Amino acid sequence: MDINRVLEDNYRNFGISSDVYELGREAEKALSERFEEIDKLAEINQLKVLSAFRENRVSETDFVKTTGYGYDASGRDKLESVYASVFRGEDALVRAQLISGTHAISTALFGNLRPGDELLCPCGKPYDTLDSIIGLNGAAGSLAEYGVTYRQVDLKDDFGFDYEAIRDAINEKTALVEIQRSRGYAQRPAFSVDEIGELVRFVKSVKPELRVMVDNCYGEFVEDKEPLEVGADIMVGSLIKNPGGGLAPIGGYIVGNSDMVEKSAYRLTAPGLGKEIGANLGVNKDMFQGLFMSSQVVAGAEKGAVFAAFILEKLGFDVSPRPFEGRHDIIQAVNFGAPDGLRAFCEGIQSAAPVDSFVRPVPSDMPGYDSQVIMAAGNFISGASIELSCDGPMRPPYTAFFQGGLTWYHAKTGILTAVQKLFDAGVVCR
């Protein structure tokens, strides 16, 4: 049997032309060493996670379902101990009741800021969904309503930190610095852990008592270390992104300084209750197993990202990061320059999904966003962006933000299908 011929025939039956298939073959050959680097990082992170499971003596009894108040839920507490070990924190809050990354960020901010404090974002404006939390758009219940002010320092033109402006922005009211690791819907690249560490050291040299929080969404297990290891006090993320491994059905985490985690827990539940309550509702096993699988899942998503970057750059599109650049999150940005390219690419990702492949994504209004957004996501878990997905705001430069892929092979298929859609729509010529 000629396995290569069988593979090509299967792709052809899936709707992939010979031209697009050959683009994929060329990309895989060119990226072989890059893929090997990604696999080695995954192996390092797998050992880190496995060591945490062993250190905390994870047992089958930790998977038992709890309901109601969840008092004395040893499995819940064990999961949080594992997260603290993996991410090198003093304590962790890992709960199904944290329904998203935005919710985890909000919980940590409200838990650790008080009236009269000021929040500083030294990386420019954060992700769109934080506008309502901070109070930039007049939303009810914001930090601004509670007397917490906000200040930001924009990045330099080369996307570097403006250290002098950051120094000038830090004042007697500055209580918390929030660093967004990933790009969000911005054109800037993600920050490396070392870059985050440099910024943390700088702000603490200006005001030693400052606390630093890192929004770590999309960044977990992309490098061999995490922000807490370079001086951050607390970091937050979503379990339906990297650390959930595609198995956690819901949830978020807050990990780091024990005092800040405790205050976050009081905000999530109630003062005096904190981490002592909260049933797992039967999802503990999925959260444990998802974390165990996450390093390999993240590696597949990274391979998909560099694969997409290679092909789309070859076709003439502006991509970030470029295929051989260092990666610090799983997101791949592609500037199409016109709405037709963004639409066609998202349609291709959707049509290769295991769920709702027959659905055609269309731009629509989304809560928390200032322009219409097109989203492609046929996922087993609704909104899970560790699964193959793509979205982007319908505004210039019409950037697709591509991420995820539970397996490398699905990521590859989705990208080839999206590229095929670009050809079929006439966005690129044969």
Does residue 317 share a domain with residue 225? no
Residue 224 has pLDDT above 80, yes or no: yes
Q: pLDDT band at residue 430, thresholds of 50, 70 and 90?
A: low
| Distance of alpha carbon 241 from alpha carbon 326, whole angstroms | 20
Does residue 242 share a domain with residue 115? yes
Does any domain span residue 57?
no
Contacts 24+ apart (CB under 8 A), 154-163: 154/124, 154/125, 155/123, 155/124, 155/188, 159/188, 159/189, 161/122, 161/123, 161/195, 161/198, 161/199, 161/202, 162/122, 163/202
Does residue 206 share a domain with residue 309? no
Residue 1 has pLDDT above 80, yes or no: no
Does any domain span residue 265?
yes
The tens digit of pLDDT for each residue in 16-40 reads 999 999 999 999 999 999 999 999 9
pTM value is 0.95
The tens digit of pLDDT for each residue in 413-427 reads 999 999 999 999 999
Q: Which of 282, 312, 341 is the last residue of a domain?
A: 282
DSSP 8-state secondary structure symbol assigned to residue 160: -
Note the pLDDT of residue 184: 79
Range from 81-95, 123-137, 310-324, 345-359 carrying the lowest mean pLDDT: 123-137
CATH number of the domain at 316, please.
Answer: 3.90.1150.60
Note the pLDDT of residue 247: 98
Does residue 333 share a domain with residue 251? no
Q: Which of 282, 311, 346 is the last residue of a domain?
A: 282
Name the domain count of the chain: 2
Residue 129 has pLDDT above 90, yes or no: no
Residues of the domain holding 224:
66-282
Does any domain span residue 365?
yes
Residue 274 has pLDDT above 80, yes or no: yes
Strand partners, 174: 118
The CA angle 386-416-401, to the nearest 5 degrees, is: 40
The pairing of beta strand 318-320 with beta strand 332-335? antiparallel
Q: What sign has the CA pseudo-torsion 152, 204, 242, 61?
A: negative
Residue 162 has pLDDT above 70, yes or no: yes
Note the pLDDT of residue 163: 98
Does residue 351 share a domain with residue 259? no
Residue 200 has pLDDT above 90, yes or no: yes
Percent with pLDDT over 70 in the chain? 99
The residue ranking higher by pLDDT, 309 or 1, is 309
DSSP 8-state secondary structure symbol assigned to residue 330: S
Q: Are 322 and 313 in contact (CB under 8 A)?
A: yes
Does residue 272 share a domain with residue 210? yes
DSSP 8-state secondary structure symbol assigned to residue 364: B
Note the pLDDT of residue 127: 87
CATH number of the domain at 220, please.
Answer: 3.40.640.10
Does residue 220 share a domain with residue 177? yes
Q: pLDDT band at residue 119, thresholds of 50, 70 and 90?
A: very high
Does any domain span residue 100?
yes
**pLDDT averaged over every residue in the chain:** 96
Q: Which of 234, 255, 282 is the last residue of a domain?
A: 282
Does residue 276 share a domain with residue 325? no
Note the pLDDT of residue 72: 85
Note the pLDDT of residue 130: 93
Does residue 108 share a domain with residue 39? no
Q: pLDDT band at residue 429, thresholds of 50, 70 and 90?
A: confident
The residue ranking higher by pLDDT, 185 or 51, is 51
| Distance of alpha carbon 282 from alpha carbon 250, whole angstroms | 12
